Structure formats: C-alpha cells, structure tokens
C-alpha cells in the first residue's frame, strides 16, 4: 500500500512545505505555486483518504446488507408490527419482555444448545481422529481425503430428506431395524432427546469430513522432526498424538470450534425439513424447534413481525455472547499454546532452556503472559 501511495505525494508535499520558507522563490513561484498547492493538497488527501476509499466497498456493502437490516430489525422489534398490515404502535421494549417470558422462546434456546452440543462435541472428536488417520502414510491419500469431503458436497436439503425418511417413526429404516432386533421403536420425530440426536446426526454427517480436512491441514504443518525426536525419546504414537499433535493444532481447533458455534446456533434447514408434514414447525410439541425456526414461525406463520425481530436481536446478542466467551477462551489457550508452534519455540524446546525460550517470544506473547500472572 505505502509504496503505491508515497511516490506521487512525497515530492509534492516537500515542495509545498519548502515554498513558504523561501519567500523570493526562483521565478517559477508565482505561476506554478497555485497549481503546486492544489497538487499538494490533492496529494495529502490521497495519502489520508485513499486507504479508506480502498476498503470502502466492503463497508458500503456491509452497511447495505448487514448494518441496515440490523438497525431496521431493531426498529421493527420496538413496534407492534404485523407481517401483512405493517407497522402498528410503538411499544418500546415490550416485545423483548414478552419473549423473555415466553416458554416457547426458552424451549427453542434449549433445543438449539442441546442440538449444538450433540453435534459439535462428537463431530470435533471424530474429525480429529479422522484427520489423525488421514495424516498417516495411507495408500491413495487423495481418494480418502476427497472421500471424507463427499457428504459436504451434498446439499443439506437432500441430506435432510434422506435422513428424515430413515428416521421415520412408523416406516423408517432405523426403527424397522430396531424392531427386527425386538427393540422398541424410538420416537425420532416426537420425542425431545431422540429428535435432537437425529438432527445432530445430520449435522455431523455433513460437517465431520469438512472439519477433518481443516484439522488435517493443521496437522501436516506440525514439523515432523518433533515427532521424530519424541519417538527417539521413546514416546508411543498415542503419547505423540496427545502431547505433540493436539497442542500444535490448537489455533486451528479454535477456528473450527468458532465456525461450528456460529453455524450451530443458527441451525435451520435440518429441523425445518426433518418432518415437513408436521403442523407445528419443529415437532408436534416443539421438541426440536430451534431458535431460528421459532423466529421464522413467529414471523411467517403467526405474522408477528415485531416479536420475531425481537427474537432475532436476542439471538444476535446470544451469539455475540457465545462469541466473546470463545474469544476469551481462545486467547487464553493461544497464549498457553504459544510455547509449541513457531520456529523459535521449537528451537527453544530442543535446547530445553526456559530463558532462551522466553526471549525468543514476541512482545505480544510476553504481555499476555505477564498479564495472566
């Protein structure tokens, strides 16, 4: 950036500053001065404003499709707003107060977090181990790696249709198998916990391979000599995995956790299409009605745009809250894990000398360490 900006502006600025200092000038003064001043001003403006201009497209787009809807949603949420007949009275924060007391709102939050936990935790564990296996010297590496990504290619709608049929209570594949084994059929679409497992399984099926590939990339960045020296010291493969691989991929792990959180809290397609014939969205008694589904129901079935907007804002605040928690956790893990990645850290570990290790760190890592103490 600086190199493209400075050449034209640099000399112009210097000339502009020099002129007033030498009053007589050299004859060229009176004619060229106004033009030069104009150019210098332009140059100064260029230096100051151009960077903003270059990043402006993102912010203009964000203002249009991000900020404006956000603010508009808030305006809607403080009004008694019907979907069809439009804005009614101004009601202040009443919509928020009502929603915070609505049992269905809390039910939807519980469902969202329950499905999120049931999907995120097994998914990350499975993804890590799949990545670890893919990290070995396998034959046909590319085949296996592309293979785990296949579920991600299929659209969630198609995934949901297939799973929905398999989880059907009366005629579904899974219940038929259970009954063949003389087990009781499970109410996959009408009981709270089974429905959460069913939906989480769809999420897992789709995202495990994707996350496994990201973690695999991180694992491959772990220097092999670390593994070698550890095995020379007599560490087994499990020990190496838990003591070297896992700590080394922490930053990537945090990225995966954060994206899974944001996606998980906004889950919509899977519960929406899990039982499309259900009269109430998200199960007959809202067994798996997630917050976004609840919001959608409020806005488009019950036509209460004001309350739906209030729920949207509440969800927004909750996601920010969870995001902040993630941020703090990631910061503490990142500084704790700062001893493992990076060349200096590796050199330091080899030397097994704590003092060297510390001096090799960046000031930022130092700060955060001292801060923690």
| Interface with other proteins (CB under 8 A) | 83-86, 98, 102-104, 165, 168-171, 189-190, 275, 277-280, 284-285, 300-303, 305
Q: Which residue, 147 or 284, is less far from other proteins as judged by CB?
A: 284
Nearer to other proteins, 294 or 313 (CB): 294
Report in angstroms how near the CB of residue 60 gets to other proteins at its nearest: 16
Complex with other proteins: residue 272 or 346, whichever CB lies closer: 272
Burial class, 325, CB count within 10 angstroms (exposed 0-12 / middle 13-18 / buried 19+): exposed
| Lookup: tokens for 90 | 């101004």
Q: Name the residue nearer to other proteins (CB basis): 106 or 328.
A: 106
Which residue's CB is nearer to other proteins, number 46 or number 80?
Answer: 80
Closest distance between other proteins and the C-beta of residue 102, in Å?
Answer: 7
Environment class of residue 277 by beta-carbon count within 10 Å: exposed (0-12), middle (13-18) or buried (19+)? Answer: exposed
Provide the minimum distance between the beta carbon of 39 and other proteins in the complex, in angstroms, as a whole number.
Answer: 25
Phi then psi for residue 268, to 5 deg, are -140, -55
Report which secondary-structure segment, H or E, holds 87. strand 86-90
Nearer to other proteins, 303 or 342 (CB): 303
- Give the shortest CB-69-to-other proteins separation in angstroms: 13
In the complex, the smallest distance separating the C-beta of residue 276 from other proteins, rounded to whole angstroms, is 8
Distance between CA atoms of residues 5 and 148, nearest Å: 47
Residue partners of 203: CB distance under 8 A and separation at least 6: 115, 119, 123, 264, 267, 270
Compute the least distance from the CB of residue 45 to other proteins, in Å: 24
Number of C-beta neighbours around residue 102 at 10 A: 15
Q: Are 69 and 312 in contact (CB under 8 A)?
A: no
Residue 135 near residue 217, CB atoms below 8 Å: no
Whether the Cβ atoms of residue 330 and residue 258 lie closer than 8 Å to each other: yes
């Amino acid at each position: 950036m600086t190199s493209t900006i400075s050449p034209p502006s640099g000399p112009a600025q210097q000339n502009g500053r020099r002129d007033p200092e030498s009053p007589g000038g050299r004859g060229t003064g009176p004619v060229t001065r106004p033009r030069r001043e104009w150019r210098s001003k332009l140059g100064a403006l260029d230096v100051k404003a151009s960077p903003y201009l270059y990043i402006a497209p993102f912010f203009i787009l964000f203002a249009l499709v991000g900020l404006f809807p956000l603010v508009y949603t808030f305006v809607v949420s403080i009004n008694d707003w019907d979907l069809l007949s439009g804005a009614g009275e101004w009601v202040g924060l009443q919509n928020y107060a009502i929603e915070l007391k609505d049992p269905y709102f809390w039910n939807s939050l519980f469902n969202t977090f329950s499905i999120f936990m049931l999907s995120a935790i097994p998914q990350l564990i499975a993804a890590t181990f799949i990545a670890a296996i893919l990290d070995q010297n396998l034959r046909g590496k590319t085949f296996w790696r592309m293979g785990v990504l296949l579920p991600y290619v299929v659209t969630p709608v198609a995934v949901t249709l297939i799973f929905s049929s398999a989880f059907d209570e009366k005629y579904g594949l899974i219940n038929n198998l259970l009954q063949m084994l003389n087990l009781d059929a499970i109410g996959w679409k009408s009981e709270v916990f089974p429905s959460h497992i069913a939906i989480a399984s769809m999420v897992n099926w789709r995202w495990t391979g994707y996350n496994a590939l990201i973690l695999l990339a991180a694992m491959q960045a772990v220097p092999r000599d670390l593994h070698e020296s550890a095995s020379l010291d007599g560490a087994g493969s499990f020990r190496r995995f838990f003591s070297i691989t896992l700590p080394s991929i922490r930053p990537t792990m945090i990225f995966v956790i954060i994206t899974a959180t944001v996606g998980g809290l906004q889950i919509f397609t899977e519960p929406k299409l899990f039982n499309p014939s259900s009269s109430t969205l998200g199960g007959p008694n809202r067994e798996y009605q997630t917050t976004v589904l609840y919001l959608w129901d409020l806005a488009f079935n019950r036509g209460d745009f004001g309350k739906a907007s209030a729920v949207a804002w509440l969800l927004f605040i909750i996601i920010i809250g969870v995001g902040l928690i993630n941020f703090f956790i990631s910061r503490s893990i990142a500084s704790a894990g700062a001893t493992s990645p990076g060349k200096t850290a590796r050199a330091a570990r080899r030397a097994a000398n704590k003092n060297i290790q510390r001096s090799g760190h960046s000031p930022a890592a130092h700060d955060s360490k001292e801060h923690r103490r």
